[in-house]
Structure 1
Amino acid sequence: MKKSILTLVVGFSLLLAGLAQANERLFVYNWSEYMPEAVIALFEKETGIKVVYTTYDANEAMYARIRLLDGKGYDLIFPSTYYVDKMRKEGLLMPLNKELLPGLVHLDPSLLNKSYDPENRYSLPYLWGSTAIGVHAGLVDASKVTAFADLWKPEYKGRVMLTNDMREVFGLALHVLGYSGNSVKEAEIAAAYEKLRDLMPSLRLFAAENQKQVLLSGEAVIGAIWNGEAYMAAEENPDIRYVYPKEGAVFWVDSMAIPKGAANPEGAHRFINFILRPEIAKMITEEIGYATPNKAAKAFLSPEVASNPTVYPDAELVHNGEFQNDVGDAILIYQRYWERLKTGR
């Protein structure tokens, strides 16, 4: 009798544990079109954790929501480098538990321990990439496009696309003017604003979630675009070309981080470590066309991806470009001029 009761108690405990795992949820907040659905499905199947996946189209939107919620509501986010710096300094991020992340060994050391997050206490790189020029070669002569400055050419009036990203848009204008895309000088940022005002009559739209479709449809024939969007567009139509401008492309790293008020940090660590697996990192890069920081995964990429300069530019192109950095309080200057640009004032 006692044995039967013990068996029932153990069985009931295991049932409760199974139900708890089955009901476990992980709230992930990521960029649009930035993770294959197959990756989420594999994680859910393996762990029994339900991923509640929502998206944003700009760092500013993500930051505003996390700050409004005081770091609660989401378990995993994907900020760009300069927002990792900003958010960790503001106490919005939870320190990572490296003991739960054995997959760290696969990451490229050259992308770790950067100034925006020394010793990677709060973040790990997810993907890195560039913002350069997308051109629909079926509609315009792509051989004449060599620089960001070409966006201002009168023949493209009303047919130009820009990303809906403040730092990228100002970065390309700063590059055209010969300044650093990380400038903190108001005079230079103001000059970039004036330069961008001159471009507004040519602008078709600021695109965030649908860049590839804008080019594929011909709604815009040229414009600033993320390399992964250009990669996916070229998969559908080889006439879509990705051009690294002579002024230098804008390079960036997007990271994985856990908000300070995350309800399921253990699940977030499990998902991060899942993404760090070489076979999973390989799946992500081969489907969406952004470069993986996972050095083990890169060795297994298909030759078509590993040798594709849209995904992996050569060292000279990277050297000629510039990675985004935190600009400190100067971000307020950018925000002021960005609002003026978007509202036409």
Structure 2
Amino acid sequence: MKLLPRIAFAACTLAAGMGLLSCEQKKTLKLFSWTYYTPTDVVKEFEQEFNCKVLVTEYDSNETMFNKLVNGGAKSFDIVVPSQDYVSIMMKRGMFQPLIQSKFTNRNKINPKVLEKITYDPDMIYAVPYYFGAAGIGVNKKKVPAGDYERTWNIFADPRFKGHASMMDDYREVIGDALKYKGYNVSTSNEREVSEAVNMIREKWLPNIVKFDAEGFGKDFARGDLWLCHGYAEVIYGEVPESEWESTIDFFIPEEGGASYLDSMCILKDSKNAELATEFINFIHRPENYAKFLDFFNFPCFVNLEAQKYMKSTPLYPASAMDKCQLKDDLGDNLDIYYKKWESLRLQVN
């Protein structure tokens, strides 16, 4: 041992013995996830229990996440949280590595009904479900009396909402919901069915829609500019003071169901922390920890049913409302069928 390393080692040992620092370098787990999707207190508890540091980087869409990873960012992260269609795409491209199954002791906590939906990885080799959810419809009860309207996607054809209605700027969501209303699969590759759904949107819904918007609809609803909006419950409720929820908001997922999503936690192929990453995924699915995630957003309990007994919040909508919802599958080359029709539709509003 050379002199300088010897001195450094001795100084470090002395300092550690005095409780001043530790020579052991803490591992850092790098999480790439959706904005505000991981409760801070759960992360802190994991850091304390596993003597590590968790760095969270956020994204606002699957497209943003995917583009960053394929353009050199994949080596910068350990865990990513894509939605079901992107899990399928990324699995086909070999972008994940398997979980260490011996560390995944909470696999039995995952709802079997969820596993039936993940045909791309039903054994959770690469992807562990995080949250199953769906967008729905928010109605301002101060503008239109509750119950005095159709509780289906065809509410967007109601002329009373003209100039005060919006749908998400997301073609898989909007076209998928129209397909579901027509009785078709939200991921159909039948061009006739897609055309039928798009024509209905253009002729019946579009005259009342003031814009397609996936970001500001919550604020517009809270201001009273929108009386009817398509979006996520947590966004709509999050912009309205809680004291006004009951008097203002009627949120529902239409009775026929709609397009849904399933975000999953996956370990990237280039991660050097597969064991710690698996521990994190397993930690999230301890029922008491998963309950904190649900409470943070007032989400219903569907993925990890044991978490329900630890929940302290009242969900914004019941889990049963998603029973008829369908996942948006990876469409591959058939995606163009949707995209081209959507661009034509979108230009008529924005």
Query: What stretches of structure 2 of length at least 5 have no aligned partner?
Result: 1-5
Distance 1:301 1:154, change over 3 A: same
Distance 1:312 1:159, change over 3 A: same
What's 1:208 paired with? 214
1:70-85 to 2 correspondences below 5 Å:
71-85=74-88
Deviations 1:253-290 (A, max 9, x none): 21111222335434422321221111110011112022
1:232-243 to 2 correspondences below 5 Å:
232=238, 236=242, 237-238=245-246, 239-243=248-252
Deviations 1:126-173 (A, max 9, x none): 111222211121222231141111113222223222234332121112
Kept in 2: contact 1:75–1:264 (CA 8 A): yes
Deviations 1:36-67 (A, max 9, x none): 23323333344443333233333233223222
Quote the Cα distance in structure 2 between the aligned partners of 1:318 and 1:339.
28
Instruction: Say whether residues 1:300 and 2:306 are aligned partners.
Output: no
What's 2:3 paired with? none
Instruction: Say whether residues 1:278 and 2:284 are aligned partners.
Output: no
Quote the Cα distance in structure 2 between the aligned partners of 1:29 and 1:276.
18
Instruction: Say whether residues 1:131 and 2:138 are aligned partners.
Output: no
Kept in 2: contact 1:70–1:92 (CA 8 A): no
Instruction: Say whether residues 1:184 and 2:189 are aligned partners.
Output: yes
* Higher deviation after alignment, 291-300 or 228-237: 228-237
Q: CA deviation at 1:330?
A: 1.7
What's 1:224 paired with? 230
1:9-20 to 2 correspondences below 5 Å:
11=13, 17-18=23-24, 20=25
Distance 1:200 1:64, change over 3 A: farther
Give the residue type in structure 1 aligned to 2:68: R
Q: CA deviation at 1:318?
A: 4.1
Distance 1:94 1:335, change over 3 A: farther
Query: What stretches of structure 1 of length at least 5 have no aligned partner?
Result: none
Instruction: Say whether residues 1:151 and 2:153 are aligned partners.
Output: no
Kept in 2: contact 1:230–1:241 (CA 8 A): no
Quote the Cα distance in structure 1 between the aligned partners of 2:54 and 2:198.
40
Deviations 1:21-44 (A, max 9, x none): 0xx433322223323233233333
Quote the Cα distance in structure 2 between the aligned partners of 1:235 and 1:279.
28
Quote the Cα distance in structure 1 between the aligned partners of 2:212 and 2:59.
15
Kept in 1: contact 2:168–2:213 (CA 8 A): yes
1:104-123 to 2 correspondences below 5 Å:
104-112=107-115, 114-123=118-127
Instruction: Determine what percentage of the aligned residue pairs are the same residue.
Output: 29
Q: Which of 51, 55, 65 is the aligned partner of 2:68? A: 65
Give the residue type in structure 2 aligned to 1:300: Y
**TM-score between both structures, scaled by the size of structure 2:** 0.81
Distance 1:247 1:10, change over 3 A: same
What's 1:32 paired with? 35
Number of corresponding residues: 333
Kept in 2: contact 1:186–1:333 (CA 8 A): yes
**TM-score between both structures, scaled by the size of structure 1:** 0.83
Q: Which of 54, 61, 65 is the aligned partner of 1:51? A: 54
Q: CA deviation at 1:123?
A: 0.4
Cα RMSD over matched residues?
A: 3.2
Quote the Cα distance in structure 1 between the aligned partners of 2:82 and 2:98.
15
Kept in 2: contact 1:231–1:310 (CA 8 A): no
Q: CA deviation at 1:231?
A: 5.5
Quote the Cα distance in structure 2 between the aligned partners of 1:196 and 1:64.
30
Quote the Cα distance in structure 1 between the aligned partners of 2:45 and 2:214.
27
Deviations 1:91-122 (A, max 9, x none): 12222221222222322233226312131111
* Higher deviation after alignment, 249-258 or 203-212: 203-212
Query: Residue 332 of structure 1 aligns to a residue in which SS?
Result: helix
